[in-house]
Amino acid sequence: MKPETLLDAVDILTIPHIVTTRLDDGTKHFEQHDGLIAQLRQAVASSLGRTESGRSDPAARVPVNGEALIKYQQIEEAILQRFADVTERVPGLLPEDNLRAWYVEFHRYAKEPEEIAERDILKGWALWIREQFDPPRVRELVDSDGNAAACPECGFDWFDQVLNRGKGWADVQRSVALTVTYRDDERGGLTASFARCGLCGQTWHGPQGIRELAWDLENKK
Ligand SMILES: [Zn+2]
């Protein structure tokens, strides 16, 4: 799998792309999605009572909140800033156009570490937007008897998770220590997924990490 470039991150935010979903019966389902910035804008617009006609309505899939509007404005602003850093031209109306125009200029002189730093920021935006439409699924790690697995790092299987705390009180929930968070990486794989202990914070990233944890748990029995 080739590493994602800055241009890949720009593309996913700005132009339509094909999303592959692996269905339970093993077949694959292909769907064309708008660029993520356009999806976020449409969702915000329809939550404000405006719709862009003739499009599949992402807002139908997601309850968009005030946070989404703020995030959209932050992204728009951050892109305008980047655009102004590289050119004196008047920016366009759409953040997608400005981001692509910025990329062309930036890519001319940027060194690899700068490109990687920008790529990671853009990937952060993409992840945030994607999770508005498709929140990650979190599964507790329990064995076939329903017993929680003990974390190989801290040894706990359950812990008291503090949900909220004030002076002299705490809202505590008894929780399974190990969970796996499945996150769509848009390639039908586990590269964006991870397992984590909610108590000690130990995290196992991607397919390799999750496999290692599974192996550990298997061999502890
Ligand atoms: Zn732990």
pLDDT band at 83 (very low <50, low <70, confident <90, very high): very high
The answer to whether the beta carbons of residues 13 and 99 sit under 8 Å apart is yes
Q: Which residue has the higher pLDDT, 145 or 63?
A: 145
Helices H / strands E in the chain, number of each? 6, 8
Is-contact 126 99, C-beta < 8 A? no
Closest alpha carbon to 11 in 100, 127, 104, 105: 100
CB–CB of 89/100 below 8 Å? no
- DSSP designation for 147: P
Task: Report how far ligand 1's centroid is from the alpha carbon of 156 (Å).
Answer: 6
Please give the pLDDT value at position 2: 65
What's the token pair of residue 139?
Answer: 């599964």
Give the whole-angstrom CA distance, residue 95 versus residue 126. 14
Task: Characterise 54 by phi-psi region: left (phi > 0), alpha (psi -120 to 50), beta (else).
Answer: left
**Amino acid present at 206:** G
Q: What is the predicted pLDDT for the residue at 86?
A: 96
pLDDT higher than 50, residue 54: no
Which of residues 5 and 65 earns the better pLDDT score? Answer: 5
Q: Please check whether residue 39 is in contact with residue 128, taking contact to mean a CB–CB distance below 8 angstroms.
A: no
140 forms beta bridges with: 179
- 172-200 pLDDT per residue, tens: 889 999 999 988 776 677 888 999 999 99
pLDDT of 154 strictly over 50: yes
179 CA to middle of ligand 1, Å?
11
- With cut-offs at 50, 70 and 90, classify the pLDDT of residue 136: confident
- 208 pLDDT band, cuts 50/70/90, is very high
Residues 6+ apart with CB under 8 A from 136: 181, 182, 183, 184, 193
**pLDDT for residue 30:** 80
Distance 221 CA to ligand 1 centre (A): 17
Residue 179: phi and psi, rounded to 5, are -130, 155
Confidence of residue 1 (pLDDT cuts 50, 70, 90): low
> From ligand 1's centre to the CA of 134, what distance in Å?
27
CA of 115 to the centre of ligand 1 (A): 35
Q: Which pLDDT belongs to residue 66?
A: 80
